[in-house]
């Protein structure tokens, strides 16, 4: 074997070794994810039954179910989406359809990216100070929803803009060439083709809002409420906060551990379920698109 | 302008002929009027969209203004030097103390600890994903990493509490495993998806010519990654690490549940020199807000002091985002594939 051949062989071996090491870290990442999923699922599923899902917590949360928390999370997440999606979509329409490149657009994009980097607890503090204290809405469903919708605004804008960008430029040119005004073109050509992309983006935002805990602790989630919220100014129970309480604030944490695991499992199932719906829908749209 | 039907079409035909008599002049006026109306409508719509587009700037400024306004009363009552260097955080006791140093150190130590774990780990994973993984595996793994990204932090905190904490306690023979190290481990896991996906994007956007040139010169794939791709993507990778840093600093629930929340200074004396340690219970800035803000009396000094912490967090993440944003856009400018 010549020197060169040996050299080449050594290099090939080194390549294998280094890449396998990198691959090990990738496997480790995936393993952590699946291990968490397995741990929660294996310890949580035996507690979940119909009563657990539809009953309220009983006997200081050591028995009964999580129905008020499911409903509370559903209410606050839906309100969040109802508020943030229209605003986010109009904002995205401006950025993608009306704005011309320049300083203003750069500043807007910078703000959006910065908003998505602000810690969730700071949003909570902001919501507490503005909606609950200054505007007098109190710690309530509406304060929490407004706080979460400001927080999810950057996600919705980014997703909607992606959807608008996916509509081919020729659609716009064709519309304008036929004599449509800009708004007619957007409403009848661009939006119908972007709407399902926007919807999947909104579902992803909904999934993230469902799992958020820090902002709602400050703005309206309640420790325990026997009744469901009936108006926007009521406080509410929420899944993530319920899990937090079961895990850390309960007087006998060992006794409620199975319920905590089951709550975690339901929460993960909700977030992952929404996420899967969005991913599958996105895949279907891409398959249908012929342009 | 409404839909063009036959009548409109006729009008346009008429308009083209030389204007004779009053009726055709009237039609012309109609058309002008219609055009003004639709132009006006479009003008108003455009301004409406402009305002909605500028909402993000407005919201960002509103948050900053509101945090500053609410932290002002506390800054008048408590000197900034006490806030930064004071070691006693007891804002609700009759003899209140507003020294946030233990919290600041807690945040710094846990963040550094988390990044020391997360950065090498996620960079290795990103290099595998970007440089070595076959296409199919990459297509499968990317959504899986996205799933990790949206994982509710309270669930990770719960896992830290019931699994990681007891494990750490057993390994280091401690009475409780809820210490800075546990918090750092959980935060490292939370930072992984951010750093992996952004640095993988950076590696992917290195121009193909660079890699092809290296391979043509006889470099192996590893040598190409090590000496060509990674240096070329370095500014994107640094930006990824900074965004990971931003995520770790601002994370609340996981660290609140994992790190124990003791208010002692997170220092250990070795040979009479205080050395930062991860091996004791500590509390971060974010956890302090989460614990105290829900039952603090609105308008008290304590309430305003929490807003000071909020401003600190806001400014840190703002700067991190700004710098990484500038780095990423420079990186994209340099590496445009054309």
Q: What is the ipTM metric for this complex?
A: 0.90
More confident residue, A118 or B77: A118
Are B159 and A40 a contacting pair at CB < 8 A? Answer: yes
Tokens at A18, concatenated:
């280094």
Mean pLDDT within B244-253: 92
Shortest Cα distance, chain A CAs vs residue B29, angstroms: 19
Are B53 and A211 a contacting pair at CB < 8 A? Answer: no
Residues A9 and A107 in one domain: no
Question: What 8-state DSSP symbol labels residue B270?
Answer: E
Strand partners, A58: A63
Helix extents (H) in A45-140: 50-54, 67-93, 103-117, 120-127
Residues A9 and A71 in one domain: no
Please name the residue that has the structure tokens 């009964």.
A64
What CA–CA distance (Å, rounded) separates B311 from A101? 32
The whole-number pLDDT of residue B2 equals 47
B56, B66, B154: residue with CB nearest A153 = B56
Angle value at C-alpha B239, between B233 and B245, nearest 5 degrees: 140
**How would residue B1 be classed by pLDDT, with cut points 50, 70 and 90?**
very low
Mean pLDDT within B305-312: 92
Owning domain of residue A82: 51-288
A33, A95, A115: residue with CB nearest B60 = A115
Residues A40 and A100 in one domain: no
What CA–CA distance (Å, rounded) separates A126 from A144? 11
The whole-number pLDDT of residue A49 equals 86
pLDDT tens profile B179-192 = 999 999 999 999 99
Residue B269 has pLDDT above 80, yes or no: no
What CA–CA distance (Å, rounded) separates B235 from B95? 49
B49, B158, B321: residue with CB nearest A117 = B321
pLDDT along chain A (291 residues), means of 10: 84 90 93 94 89 81 84 93 94 90 88 92 94 90 94 93 91 90 89 90 90 90 81 89 89 84 94 89 79 63
- The residue from A12, A29, A47 where one domain ends is A47
Inter-residue contact A240 to A211 (CB < 8 Å): yes
Nearest chain A residue (CA) to B50: A94
What CA–CA distance (Å, rounded) separates B197 from B201? 6
Residues A60 and A113 in one domain: yes
Q: Taking all residues of chain B, what is their mean pLDDT, rounded to a whole number?
A: 86
Are A110 and B253 a contacting pair at CB < 8 A? Answer: no
Residue B14 has pLDDT above 50, yes or no: no
pLDDT tens profile B161-180 = 999 999 999 999 888 889 99
Could you tell me whether strands B267-270 and A63-64 are parallel, antiparallel, or unpaired per DSSP bridges? unpaired
Strand partners, A57: A64
Residues A193 and A212 in one domain: yes
B56, B221, B286: residue with CB nearest A111 = B56
Helix extents (H) in chain B: 6-16, 21-53, 55-77, 80-85, 101-127, 135-149, 153-159, 165-172, 180-204, 208-216, 221-224, 230-232, 234-250, 253-258, 285-292, 301-334
Residues A86 and A147 in one domain: yes
Quick one: which of B114, B234, B121 has its CA closest to A23?
A: B121
Are B129 and A113 a contacting pair at CB < 8 A? Answer: no
A119, A248, A275: residue with CB nearest B257 = A248
Element (H, E) at B269: strand B267-270
The whole-number pLDDT of residue B8 equals 54
Nearest chain A residue (CA) to B142: A30
Residues A176 and A97 in one domain: yes
Helix extents (H) in A120-181: 120-127, 141-165, 169-177
What CA–CA distance (Å, rounded) separates A255 from A261? 11
**How would residue B5 be classed by pLDDT, with cut points 50, 70 and 90?**
low
Nearest chain B residue (CA) to A112: B56
Shortest Cα distance, chain B CAs vs residue A206, angstroms: 11
CATH number for B103-334 (one of 1.10.357.10, 1.10.3720.10, 1.10.10.10, 1.10.540.10): it is: 1.10.3720.10
Shortest Cα distance, chain B CAs vs residue A229, angstroms: 19
Are A247 and B52 a contacting pair at CB < 8 A? Answer: no
Are B310 and A115 a contacting pair at CB < 8 A? Answer: no
The whole-number pLDDT of residue A52 equals 84
Residues A34 and A56 in one domain: no
Quick one: which of A191, A213, A203 has its CA closest to A276?
A: A203
The whole-number pLDDT of residue B143 equals 83
Mean pLDDT within B59-80: 91
Residue B337 has pLDDT above 60, yes or no: no
Residues A9 and A130 in one domain: no
Nearest chain A residue (CA) to B244: A117
The whole-number pLDDT of residue B85 equals 87
DSSP-derived 3-state class of residue B179: coil
Please name the residue that has the structure tokens 């007619």.
A184
pLDDT tens profile B196-215 = 999 999 998 888 888 899 99
Shortest Cα distance, chain A CAs vs residue B117, angstroms: 11
All residues of chain A having their beta carbon less than 8 Å from the beta carbon of residue B141 are: 26, 30
Inter-residue contact B225 to B131 (CB < 8 Å): yes
Are B151 and A217 a contacting pair at CB < 8 A? Answer: no
Q: What is the pTM of this model?
A: 0.88
Inter-residue contact B131 to A17 (CB < 8 Å): no
All residues of chain A having their beta carbon less than 8 Å from the beta carbon of residue B151 are: 33, 36, 211, 268, 271
Are A183 and B42 a contacting pair at CB < 8 A? Answer: yes
Shortest Cα distance, chain B CAs vs residue A51, angstroms: 23
What CA–CA distance (Å, rounded) separates B154 from A271? 12
Nearest chain B residue (CA) to A91: B53
Residues A42 and A147 in one domain: no
In total, the C-beta contacts within 8 angstroms joining chain A to chain B are: 258
B57, B163, B251: residue with CB nearest A107 = B57
The whole-number pLDDT of residue B336 equals 64
Please tell me the total count of domains within chain A: 2
A26, A113, A181: residue with CB nearest B129 = A26
């Amino acid at each position: 074997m010549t020197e060169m051949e040996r050299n080449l062989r050594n290099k090939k071996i080194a390549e294998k070794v280094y890449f396998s090491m990198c691959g090990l870290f990738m496997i480790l990442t995936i393993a952590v994810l699946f291990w968490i999923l397995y741990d929660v699922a294996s310890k949580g599923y035996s507690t979940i039954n119909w009563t657990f899902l539809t009953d309220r917590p009983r006997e200081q949360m050591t028995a009964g179910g999580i129905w008020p928390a499911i409903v509370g999370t559903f209410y606050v997440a839906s309100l969040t989406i109802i508020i943030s999606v229209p605003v986010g979509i109009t904002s995205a329409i401006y950025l993608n359809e009306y704005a011309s490149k320049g300083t203003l657009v750069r500043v807007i994009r910078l703000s959006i990216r910065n908003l998505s980097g602000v810690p969730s607890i700071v949003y909570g503090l902001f919501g507490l100070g503005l909606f609950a204290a200054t505007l007098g809405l109190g710690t309530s469903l509406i304060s929490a929803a407004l706080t979460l919708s400001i927080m999810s605004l950057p996600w919705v804008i980014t997703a909607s803009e992606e959807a608008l960008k996916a509509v081919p430029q020729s659609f716009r040119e064709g519309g304008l060439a036929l004599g449509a005004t800009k708004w007619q073109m957007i409403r009848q050509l661009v939006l119908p083709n972007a709407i399902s992309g926007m919807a999947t983006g909104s579902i992803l935002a909904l999934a993230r809002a469902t799992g958020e805990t820090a902002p709602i602790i400050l703005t309206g989630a309640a420790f325990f409420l026997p009744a469901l919220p009936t108006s926007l100014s009521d406080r509410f129970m929420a899944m993530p906060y319920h899990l937090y309480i079961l895990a850390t604030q309960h007087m006998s944490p060992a006794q409620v551990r199975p319920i905590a695991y089951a709550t975690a499992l339901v929460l993960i199932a909700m977030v992952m379920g929404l996420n899967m719906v969005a991913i599958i829908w996105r895949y279907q749209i891409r398959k249908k698109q012929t342009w | 302008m409404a839909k063009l039907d036959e009548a409109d079409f006729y009008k346009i035909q008429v308009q083209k002929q030389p204007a004779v008599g009053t009726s055709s002049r009237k039609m012309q006026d109609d058309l002008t009027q219609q055009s003004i109306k639709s132009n006006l409508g479009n003008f108003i719509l455009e301004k409406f969209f402009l305002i909605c587009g500028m909402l993000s700037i407005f919201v960002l400024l509103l948050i900053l203004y509101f945090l500053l306004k609410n932290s002002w009363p506390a800054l008048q009552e408590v000197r900034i030097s006490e806030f930064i260097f004071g070691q006693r955080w007891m804002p609700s006791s009759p003899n209140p103390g507003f020294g946030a140093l233990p919290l600041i150190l807690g945040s710094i130590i846990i963040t550094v600890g988390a990044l020391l774990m997360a950065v090498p780990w996620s960079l290795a994973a990103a290099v595998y994903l970007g440089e070595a993984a076959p296409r199919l595996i990459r297509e499968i793994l990317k959504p899986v990493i996205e799933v990790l990204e949206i994982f509710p932090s309270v669930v990770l905190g719960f896992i830290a509490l019931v699994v990681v904490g007891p494990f750490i306690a057993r390994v280091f023979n401690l009475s409780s495993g809820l210490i800075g190290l546990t918090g750092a481990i959980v935060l490292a896991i939370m930072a992984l998806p951010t750093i992996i996906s952004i640095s993988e994007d950076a590696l992917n956007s290195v121009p193909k010519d660079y890699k092809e040139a290296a391979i043509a010169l006889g470099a192996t794939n590893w040598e190409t990654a090590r000496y060509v791709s990674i240096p070329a993507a370095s500014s994107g990778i640094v930006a990824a690490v900074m965004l990971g840093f931003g995520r770790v600093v601002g994370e609340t629930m996981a660290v609140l549940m994992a790190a124990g929340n003791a208010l002692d200074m997170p220092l250990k004396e070795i040979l009479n020199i205080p050395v930062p340690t991860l091996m004791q219970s500590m509390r971060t800035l974010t956890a302090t807000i989460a614990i105290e803000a829900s039952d603090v009396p609105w308008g008290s000094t304590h309430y305003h002091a929490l807003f000071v912490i909020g401003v600190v967090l806001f400014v840190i993440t703002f700067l991190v985002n700004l710098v990484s944003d500038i780095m990423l856009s420079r990186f994209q400018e340099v590496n445009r594939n054309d």
